[in-house]
Amino acid sequence: MGPSAASPPFGEHHEELRESVGRFVEKEIVPHTDEWEEAREFPGDLFTRCGELGFLGLKFPAEYGGQGGDHLDDAVWVEELSRRGASGGVAAGLNAHSSIAMPPVFEFGDEWQRQRWVVPGIRGEKVGALGITEPGAGSDVASIRTMATKVEGGWVVNGSKTFITNGVRADFLVCACRTTEEGGHGGISFLVLESDMPGYEVTGKLEKLGWHSSDTGELAFEDVEVPETHLLGEENGGFALIMSNFAWERLLMAIGAVGAMDHLIEKAITYTKERHAFGRPVADFQATRHRLAEMATTAAASRTLTVDTLRRFHEGEDVTREVSMAKLFTQRALVEIADDTVQLFGGWGYMREYQVERALRDARLGPIGGGTDEIMKEIIGKTMGL
């Protein structure tokens, strides 16, 4: 179980990174889990701390303050966050910033935009969020209604977004807007909105089943004036950005799930060896051993599919189908493994103490967020000519 030492596509330096992320998570994140879950957010200085340690800039070039690595370094960071026991909420908040909001600014942005959002973002001094979903448009991304109307020198934005991770505290929002009356695939553009722009309002912080320590915001825009320098990439070319971002976001979700599976299985093994029933350790019952064996098999299959997809993604292959498969398979699998873990813990699994009830609640977002299971199946079906 777990990532085997430096097996491809990972090299020796990834093992060192695993260790340093692991030490950080166990010492500076895990001990605060309950407090941050109750507060419904983690402290803002966790971003600057992660920035100081270089974790927010792993895949960005050194000239921007990054570590000069690539997707594989980011994958190690995401996997170790969950493998060492960070809550889904903490992982979601940190990654929505460093792995979901910043990459399109870097990839599609010009030098001024990189300096304005990526450089302070890598230091954790500015926090980013990605704003696509709206009250009336989730899976059907092309039907978003937030409208950016062209005016002299820029746009005026009106509309709203919901379910935005980091939405309450974000300094900048990478925001999908309609830039033609018709909207749709050829009429969406990305504008970077800043939270201190007049007319930009955080209208709500949502209560959720899981991910309690991440803030999930509702936003409203009323005549927000956005200068033309805030357009990311091509006008009306926003769909390309959405698609390129989704591939990485979904792959990261699969990687995070693989890490979380290892964490839960280790916990379940330890607990069932220590807990006694009918005069012997619970792990001695055949039913327990078989359940653990099935969990480990599912985790291994998840890891193999995910790491192989990551390797091919890293080599530049089009892995749209495999990413969708990895996302589909791992997110459901993690819900099942978390549920199995709760079962193995018995009543204690239902209590807060061992954090497995939280893991189950956190896992439930996987088959919904970043594209639902049903949408993954649609994509996979299309690649099969269906």
Amino acid identity for residue 222 in this structure: E
Smallest distance, ligand FAD to C-beta of residue 228, A: 23
Q: Are 199 and 156 in contact (CB under 8 A)?
A: no
Measured from the Cβ of residue 65, the count of other Cβ atoms closer than 10 Å reads 17
Residue 118 to residues 100, 159, 235, 245, Cα–Cα distance (Å): 12, 25, 21, 16
Strands 128-131 and 172-178, bridge-based pairing: parallel
Residue number of the CB closest to ligand FAD reads 138
Phi, psi of 213 (to 5 degrees): -85, 5
By the 10 Å C-beta count (0-12 exposed, 13-18 middle, 19+ buried), 284 is classed as: middle
- Nearest approach, Cβ of 187 to ligand FAD (angstroms)? 18
Q: Closest approach of Cβ 273 to ligand FAD, in Å?
A: 35
How near is the Cβ of 233 to ligand FAD at its closest, in Å? 17
Q: Of 109 and 210, which CB lies nearer to ligand FAD in the complex structure?
A: 210
Buried-state track 109-122, b at ≥16 Cβ within 10 A, e below 16:
beeebbebbbbbbb
**Interacting residues toward ligand FAD by CB under 6 A:** 96, 129-133, 138-139, 163-165, 208, 211, 216, 365, 368-372, 374-375, 378
Q: How far is the CB of 174 from ligand FAD (least distance, A)?
A: 9
- Token digits for 171? 């300094």
In this complex, which beta carbon is closest to ligand FAD, that of residue 48 or of residue 372? 372
CA-nearest of 100, 94, 99, 173 to 131 is 173
Is 378 an annotated catalytic residue?
no
User: Which residue in 41, 218, 249, 322 is the catalytic one?
Assistant: 249
User: Exposure of 358 by Cβ count < 10 A (0-12 exposed, 13-18 middle, 19+ buried)?
Assistant: buried
Nearest distance in Å: CB 92, ligand FAD:
7
Per the rule left: phi > 0, alpha: psi between -120 and 50, beta: everything else, 261 is alpha
Question: Which residues are identified as catalytic?
Answer: 249
